[in-house]
Amino acid sequence: MRSAHRLRLLRAALSPINHIRQIHLSNMSSKPVRALIMGPPGSGKGTVSERIVSTFKVTHLSSGDVLRSQIKEGTEVGLKAKAIVEKGGLVPDEVMIELIMAKMKELSGGSWLLDGFPRTVVQAEKLGEKQELDVVINLDVPFETIIDRISKRWIHPGSGKTYNLDFNPPKVPGKDDDTGEDLVQRDDDKPETVRQRLKQYEEMTKPLIDFYTKQGILESFSGTETNVIWPKVKDYLTENFFKL
């Protein structure tokens, strides 16, 4: 009897806590999530983005895709960007933000994952004036891992088929499986080029990482493989933003 009474008292005590948790989970699932993903080239950002989009049913807002689609659709801001691009100019921050905001309005309040913009603190500040972010996902992959991964990529010029010496090597070293023709390494994939690109990325994005860290919304996920990083990202987003 005493045990049953204690159990009833415990349930009564936990009831408000469970109720609050249910409300929290309900709000998590109903409130649109505004997220940004960052990561150096070769960090697996594309793969992680795809998994976030498919798992949590959010819209992927790639800045490059948004720019191209707005130009193709001939929207007012798209035409403005087109005129600049056709003259060989760089699209100004204000126009890029207009493009992003125009696309966001089409989503009718749904959750989205921003990718490729902002790249600088100035861009982040201007975006923040229009739209606040809930979380910034930063993929922290050792540069030496990235250099090693990319430098093992070889292609067949004729078909564009890509090989990786670790994951899918050619049957005959240096030769295409289908034609037997020579494989080549793109200049962009050579170690010295990759190292330079990563250095430029670090110099450009460190202030941006500091900016979002001070805002308290940056979450970094470390690892050398996407299959190690992804479960961490998924668990974090599930616990804090989405109800699966």
Residue 220 forms beta bridges with which residues? 138
What's the CATH number where 50 sits?
3.40.50.300
Among candidate residues 126, 195, 197, 232, the one labeled active-site is 197
Among candidate residues 119, 175, 232, 234, the one labeled active-site is 119
Q: Which residue, chain included where needed, has tokens 């010496």?
A: 165
Quick one: angle between helices 143-151 and 191-215, nearest 10? 140
Q: Is residue 25 situated within a structural domain? A: no
The answer to whether 207 and 122 have CB atoms below 8 angstroms apart is no
Measured in degrees and rounded to the nearest 5, phi and psi for residue 35 equal: -125, 150
Q: Is residue 227 situated within a structural domain? A: yes
pLDDT value of position 3: 53
> Is 42 annotated as belonging to a binding site?
yes
Among candidate residues 8, 11, 31, 186, the one labeled active-site is 186
Q: Is residue 24 situated within a structural domain? A: no
Measured in degrees and rounded to the nearest 5, phi and psi for residue 106 equal: -70, -15
> Is 153 annotated as belonging to a binding site?
yes
Catalytic site includes residue 153: yes
Catalytic site includes residue 45: yes
User: Does residue 193 surpass a pLDDT of 60?
Assistant: yes
Q: What is the Cα–Cα distance from 44 to 222, expressed in whole angstroms?
A: 12
Q: Is residue 12 situated within a structural domain? A: no
Residue 103 binned pLDDT confidence (cut-offs 50, 70, 90) = confident
Catalytic site includes residue 119: yes
Q: What is the Cα–Cα distance from 205 to 214, expressed in whole angstroms?
A: 14
**Residue 63: domain span:** 31-241
Kindly provide the residue ranges of all beta strands, DSSP E only, lying in the chain, ordered along the sequence: 34-38, 59-62, 112-115, 135-140, 153-155, 162-164, 218-222
Measured in degrees and rounded to the nearest 5, phi and psi for residue 139 equal: -90, 115
Structure confidence by residue, pLDDT tens digits, 214-231: 999 999 999 999 999 999
> Is 149 annotated as belonging to a binding site?
no
Residue 98 binned pLDDT confidence (cut-offs 50, 70, 90) = confident
How many domains are there within the chain? Answer: 1
Q: Is residue 22 situated within a structural domain? A: no
Q: Is residue 198 situated within a structural domain? A: yes
Q: Is residue 199 situated within a structural domain? A: yes
For range 79-90, the mean pLDDT? 87
The answer to whether 52 and 233 have CB atoms below 8 angstroms apart is yes
Q: What angle do CA 224, 225, 226 make, to 5 degrees?
A: 135
Local structure of 41: helix, strand or coil = coil
For range 37-53, the mean pLDDT? 95
> Is 62 annotated as belonging to a binding site?
no
Local structure of 69: helix, strand or coil = helix
pLDDT value of position 19: 44
Q: What is the Cα–Cα distance from 199 to 191, expressed in whole angstroms?
A: 12
> Is 110 annotated as belonging to a binding site?
no
Percent of the chain topping pLDDT 70:
87
Task: Pull the structure tokens for residue 177.
Answer: 């499986």
Mean pLDDT of the chain: 87
Q: Is residue 15 situated within a structural domain? A: no
For range 138-146, the mean pLDDT? 96
